[in-house]
Amino acid sequence: MTEPTVEVLAPENLSERGQLTSHANSYLRLAEDMVIETEQDFLTADKLRQEGMTQRKKIEAHHKPRIDQAHKLHRGLISDMNIFYVPIEKARKLFGDKMTVFRAGQRKIQLAVEVAQEKERADEQARLTKLAEDKRVEQARVSEAKGNKVEADAILETPAEVHQVPVGPISQPAVPKSQTKFKDTWDVIVINPAEVPEDYKDINQGRLDKFARLMKGKVQIAGCRIDTRTIPC
């Protein structure tokens, strides 16, 4: 960052300021002492009142150069402040992007754990089901071998009692707590431009994304897929 060139406010003409102050106070005293009893008094008051506008213009002319300079100085200071903002905001964005990648990775791990746990539960359920079916078939075979076909048929017609494997708690990957708040955002991915509705035929990506975010992803757009991302606020 380079050192900014900031103008210094020009000093005020104190002599002129003193004259304006004196005139303003004299004008006020004149108004306080004014008594309107005749038409001539009325016309005099009217003339004096109009002279007040001349005094106002002189006051404005006295202050305007410094006011204009102050506005210019303010704009310069804001511009200088923004110079410092640029690297800070770039850094904040980098931090946020990296935190987002980490969270996405943790979510991917969580989904993989959920899939693995569900597969393990399903495999165990399948094993228990097969054991129950094998036991039922064996019971029917034994009954039939003893000459009790009716009992064997009844056993085969009765569904096997299978113990249901409960859905266990999902293992959550450790995600450090942070002061940064995150929110979901939605991106529209154009898959088939030919199917995009007429309103979006120009495929204005910004417009599509804005609409998806407005609807919080709860919308379908022909020819498009809507992806959800979690980003820092």
Sign of CA dihedral 38, 40, 43, 48: negative
Task: From first to last of the 233 residues of the chain, give the pLDDT tens digit.
Answer: 555 555 667 788 899 999 999 999 999 999 999 999 999 999 999 999 999 999 999 999 999 999 999 998 898 889 888 888 888 989 988 988 888 888 888 878 878 878 888 888 888 888 888 888 888 888 888 888 888 888 878 878 888 787 787 776 655 555 666 677 777 777 777 788 777 777 666 666 777 777 778 877 787 777 788 887 777 66
Does this model's pTM top 0.85? My answer is no
Which of 102, 120, 101, 124 shows the shortest CA–CA distance to 112? Answer: 120
**Radius of gyration of the chain from its Cα atoms, rounded to whole angstroms:** 42
Helices (H), 182-225: 205-214
From residue 148, how far is each of 137, 138, 145 by CA, in Å? 14, 14, 7
- Token pair of 184 as six digits: 């979901």
